[in-house]
């Protein structure tokens, strides 16, 4: 008797997944590469869309330099040393190389081998999605590749494929299936769609598409009717124009005219005017955005102004300091006694808008799969305004006359000391000026 139950269960387990297409981790190895058409097969008709996608990060999700470095130099060796991480590290491909994941080809061949894993988030992957299985997270979409391509429009006809409307293409949950991620320790290491859901844009019916796939007049294929076509540009942090002015910056003093031995307090207002989620979002463990305020007196002498402390819990992580972090990189790199690298790499005293990710020892990490807890969330929410103050006691050597004070909000995709340490190409850690503002005070005798 005892042995019969497991046998029956096994039979059920073998039968059940076949009845309904799998999603998320259950979909590993459930399909073949050949089930998907190559993006080139769409190019002849959807030429513009193809070219847009080629320039977008979507087509490079597996091949982009920093993805390759993090996956192959940190994640894969980490899972080799700690096999309990293997399923999660294989899962990187569920979002970055979904065809390889579905084909059970994990880890996939390296990018230079030019396998179909390189198609990254491809046309046919996206247009084979028929549902999202519950709350969107961890690539829990359902993919049913074949003759039918699904989309947001009704009643279209194509000589190459069957076209079907599916309402999943009209909601942010679709994007959230890859843009929300919860790791093995239950930590939400990516929550762009959740941030959107909790913000004003969800309420006002402005999904991700409106800002990331804007519509423009034209036709999507030569035989199509004129209409409004979704542009597959997916601009994000890798596009300077998209980042620039996402946050508005303004600055003013409490007094315009200050005695040479006086004190002035500047207030900086930072308004998230353009993003439908927090800034930074997505790869929050990598990103760093900071406010740098400098005064220049009548003699041209420059003074750096540190931000006033507010006194909230965890604030130390939001003010640049000379501190070490990212020690856990030593595990996959096989460096015994590794002390880590500089935590911030920006001038001490500057306010940093971030949410720190911590390893099990409570030290900051950029390895999201190794994150055991999150620190204070000091990012700028959609349509939120953050106020920062800079109290400045006139230095003894300040020149009389006008002093110009400038606030600059900078952004870096990958915190610089980590980028340098891992030899990630420069463009990933270039400093991007999001916005700046200036004000003038007068110092008198
Ligand atoms: C021979 C030309 C041709 C090829 C090749 C082709 N398509 Fe299409 N496709 C069309 C036409 C025509 C339409 C209808 C456009 C319209 O009327 O606006 C269309 C529409 C679509 C739509 C919109 C569906 C909807 O209901 O919103 C999707 C998605 C799509 N194609 C995906 C693909 C993908 C993915 C490939 C490659 C695997 C591909 N197509 C290859 C001609 C083609
Ligand atoms: C109101 C417009 C708007 C909406 C709605 C919106 N975004 Fe964004 N998104 C932006 C802007 C502006 C940026 C650039 C600033 C930044 O990086 O946060 C951006 C950046 C991003 C980035 C890059 C972030 C980074 O730092 O790497 C991702 C990924 C992204 N959006 C995904 C989404 C997803 C997914 C949704 C829907 C759940 C969405 N966005 C909704 C405007 C929007
Ligand atoms: C990340 C997923 C994703 C990828 C990758 C993607 N698409 Fe789309 N596509 C969408 C969504 C979502 C829509 C509907 C957007 C809307 O209507 O707001 C869409 C719309 C379309 C349409 C209809 C356009 C219109 O408005 O008439 C066509 C055609 C299409 N895609 C073809 C392609 C082709 C070809 C590729 C590859 C070169 C591709 N898509 C890559 C998600 C994707
Ligand atoms: C199959 C998974 C998947 C789906 C579905 C998906 N994305 Fe992405 N997306 C990714 C991955 C992976 C990246 C990161 C590419 C990289 O940098 O490696 C990305 C990158 C982006 C970026 C660029 C961020 C940057 O740093 O420049 C934007 C914007 C974005 N996605 C928006 C969307 C929107 C809007 C949708 C819904 C229409 C969507 N995504 C659906 C997986 C997905
Ligand atoms: C649930 C989907 C998902 C999973 C699983 C996932 N990623 Fe990502 N990853 C994304 C998305 C979406 C982005 C883009 C976010 C943004 O632009 O801020 C991204 C961004 C990145 C980036 C930054 C790319 C850049 O150029 O800035 C790296 C590196 C990366 N992922 C590596 C990994 C590794 C390694 C794993 C596995 C341990 C992994 N990802 C698992 C969805 C995922």
pLDDT band at 21 (very low <50, low <70, confident <90, very high): confident
The protein residue whose alpha carbon is closest to atom 14 in ligand 5 is 282
Which bound ligand lies closest to the C-alpha atom of 62? Answer: 4
Residue 178: CB within 6 Å of ligand 4?
Answer: yes
Q: What is the mean pLDDT of residues 124-143?
A: 98
Ligand 5 atom nearest 369 alpha carbon: 38
Question: Above 90 in pLDDT, residue 331?
Answer: yes
pLDDT band at 245 (very low <50, low <70, confident <90, very high): confident
| DSSP-H helix ranges across 109-238 | 123-126, 173-179, 192-197, 200-203, 208-212
Measured distance CA(150)–CA(50) in Å, rounded: 17
What pLDDT does residue 397 have?
A: 95
What pLDDT does residue 19 have?
A: 53
Measured distance CA(76)–CA(331) in Å, rounded: 11
The protein residue whose alpha carbon is closest to atom 3 in ligand 4 is 178
pLDDT band at 115 (very low <50, low <70, confident <90, very high): very high
Question: Above 80 in pLDDT, residue 18?
Answer: no
Residue 157 has phi, psi (to 5 degrees) of -125, 145
Residue 107: CB within 6 Å of ligand 2?
Answer: no
Measured distance CA(359)–CA(14) in Å, rounded: 38
Q: How far is the CA of 96 from the centre of ligand 5 (A)?
A: 7
Ligand 1 atom nearest 124 alpha carbon: 35
For all residues of the chain together, what is the average pLDDT? Answer: 95
Residue 325: CB within 6 Å of ligand 4?
Answer: no
Alpha-carbon 246 to chain mean position: 15
157-173 per-position pLDDT tens digit: 999 999 999 999 999 99
- Residue among 69, 74, 109 nearest 89 (CA): 74
| Opening angle at CA 98, ends 96 and 101, nearest 5 | 110
What pLDDT does residue 20 have?
A: 74
Q: What is the mean pLDDT of residues 23-49?
A: 98
Does residue 388 contact residue 349 with C-beta atoms inside 8 Å? no
Q: What is the mean pLDDT of residues 349-376?
A: 98
Whether the link from the prior residue into 107 is cis, omega within 30° of 0, is yes
What pLDDT does residue 11 have?
A: 47
365-405 per-position pLDDT tens digit: 999 999 999 999 999 999 999 999 999 999 999 999 999 99
What pLDDT does residue 353 have?
A: 98
Domains of the chain: 16-230 (no CATH), 240-444 (2.60.40.3880)
Question: Above 90 in pLDDT, residue 416?
Answer: yes
Residue 137 token pair: 């997270």
Print burial letters for 263-282: b (CB count within 10 Å at least 16), e (below 16). Answer: ebebbbebbbebbbbbbbbb
What pLDDT does residue 3 have?
A: 42
Ligand 3 atom nearest 210 alpha carbon: 18
The protein residue whose alpha carbon is closest to atom 41 in ligand 5 is 92
Question: Above 90 in pLDDT, residue 229?
Answer: yes
What pLDDT does residue 187 have?
A: 98
Residue 119: CB within 6 Å of ligand 1?
Answer: no
Ligand 1 atom nearest 154 alpha carbon: 26
Measured distance CA(323)–CA(351) in Å, rounded: 15
Burial of 176: CB neighbours in 10 Å, binned 0-12, 13-18, 19+: buried
Q: How far is the CA of 212 from the centre of ligand 4 (A)?
A: 10
The protein residue whose alpha carbon is closest to atom 9 in ligand 4 is 58
Residue 277: CB within 6 Å of ligand 2?
Answer: yes
Helix (H, G, I), strand (E, B) or coil at 164: strand
The protein residue whose alpha carbon is closest to atom 40 in ligand 2 is 208
Question: Above 50 in pLDDT, residue 84?
Answer: yes
The protein residue whose alpha carbon is closest to atom 30 in ligand 1 is 149
Residue 213: CB within 6 Å of ligand 3?
Answer: yes
What pLDDT does residue 2 have?
A: 40
278-295 per-position pLDDT tens digit: 999 999 999 999 999 999
Question: Above 80 in pLDDT, residue 198?
Answer: yes
pLDDT band at 310 (very low <50, low <70, confident <90, very high): very high
Give the whole-number percent of the chain exceeding pLDDT 70.
96
200-222 per-position pLDDT tens digit: 999 999 999 999 999 999 999 99
Question: Above 60 in pLDDT, residue 14?
Answer: no
Q: How far is the CA of 220 from the centre of ligand 1 (A)?
A: 8
Residue 127: CB within 6 Å of ligand 4?
Answer: no
Give the 3-state secondary structure of 273-338.
CCCCCCECCCCCCCCEEEEEEEEECCCCCEEEECCCCCCCCCHHHHECCCCEECHHHHHHHCCCCC
């Amino acid at each position: 008797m005892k042995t019969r139950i497991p046998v029956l269960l096994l039979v059920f387990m073998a039968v059940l997944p076949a009845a309904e297409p799998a999603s998320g981790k259950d979909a590993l190895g459930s399909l073949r590469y050949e089930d998907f058409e190559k993006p080139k097969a769409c190019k002849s008709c959807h030429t513009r869309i193809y070219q847009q996608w080629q320039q977008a990060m979507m087509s490079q999700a597996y091949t982009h330099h920093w993805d390759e470095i993090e996956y192959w130099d940190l994640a894969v060796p980490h899972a080799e040393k700690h096999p309990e991480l293997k399923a999660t590290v294989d899962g990187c491909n569920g979002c970055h190389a979904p065809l390889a994941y579905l084909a059970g080809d994990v880890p996939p061949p390296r990018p230079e081998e030019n396998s179909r894993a390189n198609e990254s988030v491809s046309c046919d992957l996206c247009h084979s999605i028929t549902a999202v299985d519950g709350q969107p997270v961890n690539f829990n979409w359902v993919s049913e590749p074949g003759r039918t391509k699904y989309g947001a429009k009704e009643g279209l006809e194509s000589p190459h494929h069957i076209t079907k409307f599916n309402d999943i293409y009209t909601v942010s949950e679709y994007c959230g299936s890859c843009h929300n991620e919860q790791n093995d320790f239950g930590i939400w290491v990516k929550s762009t769609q959740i941030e959107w859901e909790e913000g004003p844009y969800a309420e006002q019916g402005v999904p991700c598409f409106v800002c990331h796939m804007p519509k423009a007049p034209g036709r999507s294929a030569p035989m199509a009717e004129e209409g409004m076509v979704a542009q597959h540009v997916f601009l994000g942090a890798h596009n300077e124009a998209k980042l620039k002015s996402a946050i508005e910056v303004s600055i003013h003093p409490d007094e315009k005219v200050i005695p040479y031995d006086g004190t002035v307090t500047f207030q900086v207002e930072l308004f998230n005017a353009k993003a439908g989620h927090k800034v930074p979002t997505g790869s929050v463990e990598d990103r760093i955005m900071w406010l740098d305020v400098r005064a220049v007196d009548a003699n041209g002498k420059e003074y750096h102004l540190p931000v006033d402390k507010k006194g909230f819990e965890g604030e130390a992580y939001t003010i640049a300091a000379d501190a070490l972090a990212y020690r856990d990189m030593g595990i996959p790199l096989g460096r015994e006694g590794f002390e880590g690298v500089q935590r911030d790499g920006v001038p001490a005293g500057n306010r940093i808008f971030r949410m720190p990710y911590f390893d099990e020892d409570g030290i900051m990490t950029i390895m999201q799969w190794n994150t055991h807890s999150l620190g204070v969330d000091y990012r700028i929410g959609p349509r939120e305004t953050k106020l920062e103050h800079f109290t400045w006691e006139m230095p003894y050597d300040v020149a009389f006359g006008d002093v110009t004070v400038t606030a600059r909000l900078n952004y870096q995709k990958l915190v610089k000391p980590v980028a340098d340490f891992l030899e990630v190409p420069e463009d990933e850690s270039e400093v991007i000026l999001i916005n700046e503002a200036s004000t003038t005070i007068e110092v008198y005798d």
